[in-house]
Amino acid sequence: MVDVNALIDAEDVPALLFEIDVLCGDGDWDALEMVAQRCRDAIDRGRQLWPVASHVDYRLALEAPGRWAASVLERSSRFTLGPLTEVAATTHTWAEIAPHLPGAHVAAVIAQERVLRGEDLRGVPGTGPGVFELPMALAAGESGHRLPEYRAHDADFGDPVEPDGIEIVEPGSGAGSGDAAPAAAAVRDLFEAWTADSDGSCVLATSASSAACAAASVAGTGSGALRMAEVDAGTALVWLTWAGASGGAHARRRGGATGRFQAWWAATALAGADWPPGGVEPLSRVSWFWWEPLPRPAGLVCGLAVEDHRSATSTAVWAVAPP
C-alpha cells in the first residue's frame, strides 16, 4: 500500500480515492477501514478529508462482506450517495448481514430494505414488524418498486414505470373542497423532502364527484384534460414508496425503508383504513387512480387519487418537485 499518511498530510483527495479503488479491488477491508480512521483523525487536525472518510464508509457498505458493511451503518451518511442502510441492503441478503447488525432499529430498517428487494422475512427471527409495523413480505401488486442502483462512484435513481391503460380524461366540472383531512397530514409527511427542501408543493382536495374531478381541481386545471389510469392498491404503494424514499429534486434521500413506511401510512389514511392495515386488502376497499395533468410540468411529479364508494367522495393528491 502507498504511504497513506503522506497522502493525508497533503490532502491529496484524488490519490486517496484511487487508493480506495485499489483496496476495494483487492478486498482489503481492514486496510480500507484504516484509511477511513486516519482520515477522521486528520479532520480533527483541520484536514478537509470528510468526503474521503464518507466515501470509505459508502464503499464498505456497498462492497464489503456483511461484517464490515454492518460496522458502518450507524455512521453519518449525510455526504454519501444514499443512506448507508439502503446501500448495504442493495448488495447483502438478510442472512449475510443480520448476524452483524448493531441494534434493533438498524435491523428493522435493513429488514424493510430487503423486503423491498423481494425477500420474504415473515417469521424470520430478529425481523418482525418492529418500529415500522409493516408486512414482512411484499403485498399483492407491490412488486414493481423502482429501486436505486448504487455503484462505486455514482447511483441511478429512476421513476417507477407508468401503469398500463392510461387514457386521456376530460373530467368536466366538479369542485374540490380543499384539504382531505385526516389524510392530509400523512401525505404531507410523505412529501416533506419535496416541499421543505426542494421548493416543491403538495396539494390535496376532496370532491363529491369522481376521482378525475378531484384531480383536476387539485392540479388547478379546472376541467382540463388529464392522463389517467385505474390501478390497484399495490401500484399506488409503489408510487408512494418511490416518492417517500426520494429527496425530491435537491434534498437528502430518505431511503426505501422510510419510503415504504410513509407510503403505507399515507395509503391507509387515504383509504380510511385502520392502522396497522396488516395487508393490502383494507387499502383495496377504495378505487385507486394514477394521473397527471396535460401538459405535464417539469421535474418530479406524483399524482394519485382515490374514489371511496362508501362515502361517495374522491380524494386527489398532487405533488411536484421542480428541477
| pLDDT one-digit tens code per residue, 143-176 | 889 999 999 999 999 889 999 999 999 886 555 5
Q: What is the pLDDT of residue 173?
A: 58
Pair 257, 183 in one domain: yes
Mode of pairing for the β-strands spanning 313-321 and 201-207: antiparallel
Q: What is the pLDDT of residue 83?
A: 96
Site of grid cell 430494505 = 113
Q: What is the pLDDT of residue 221?
A: 57
Indicate whether 119 pLDDT > 90.
yes
**What mean pLDDT is predicted for residues 54-63?**
97
Pair 267, 288 in one domain: yes
Indicate whether 177 pLDDT > 70.
no
Pair 96, 53 in one domain: yes
Q: Which of 128-132, 142-146, 239-243 shows the lowest mean pLDDT across its residues?
A: 128-132
Indicate whether 209 pLDDT > 90.
no
Pair 138, 213 in one domain: no
Reported as a pLDDT band with limits 50, 70 and 90, residue 44 is confident
10 Cβ neighbours under 8 A, 6+ residues apart: none
Pair 67, 126 in one domain: yes
Indicate whether 118 pLDDT > 70.
yes
* Torsion region of 251: left, alpha or beta (phi above 0 gives left; psi -120 to 50 gives alpha): beta
Q: Which tens digits make up the pLDDT trace of 265-317?
A: 999 999 999 998 888 999 999 999 999 999 899 999 999 999 999 888 999 99
218 lies in some domain? yes
Q: Tell me what percent of the residues of the chain surpass a pLDDT of 70.
A: 94
Pair 95, 176 in one domain: no
278 Cβ neighbours under 8 A, 6+ residues apart: 135
Q: What is the Cα–Cα distance from 295 to 235, expressed in whole angstroms?
A: 23
Reported as a pLDDT band with limits 50, 70 and 90, residue 249 is confident
Indicate whether 239 pLDDT > 80.
yes
Pair 152, 172 in one domain: no
Distances (CA, A) of 58 to 78, 85, 197, 256: 11, 10, 23, 17
**What mean pLDDT is predicted for residues 227-231?**
97
Pair 112, 252 in one domain: no
Count CB atoms within 10 A of the CB of residue 136: 19
Pair 66, 196 in one domain: no
Which of 116, 137, 156 terminates a domain? The answer is 156
161 lies in some domain? no
Which of 99, 133, 156 terminates a domain? The answer is 156
Count of helix runs (H) and strand runs (E) in the chain? 13, 8
User: In whole numbers, what is the pLDDT of the chain averaged over residues?
Assistant: 91
Which of 135, 156, 177 terminates a domain? The answer is 156
Q: What is the Cα–Cα distance from 131 to 191, expressed in whole angstroms?
A: 20
Q: What is the pLDDT of residue 255?
A: 96
Residue 299 lies in domain: 167-321
188 lies in some domain? yes
Pair 108, 44 in one domain: yes
Is the pTM for the entire model greater than 0.85?
A: yes
162 lies in some domain? no
**What mean pLDDT is predicted for residues 41-63?**
93
Q: Which tens digits make up the pLDDT trace of 59-81?
A: 999 999 999 999 999 998 888 99
Q: What is the Cα–Cα distance from 264 to 190, expressed in whole angstroms?
A: 10
95 lies in some domain? yes
Distances (CA, A) of 291 to 205, 214, 239: 14, 11, 11
Q: What is the pLDDT of residue 223?
A: 56
Q: Which three cell numbers stand for residue 77?
A: 451518511
Q: What is the pLDDT of residue 101?
A: 94
Number of domains in the chain: 2
Pair 179, 311 in one domain: yes
Q: Which of 199-208, 213-222, 259-268 shows the lowest mean pLDDT across its residues?
A: 213-222
Pair 140, 200 in one domain: no
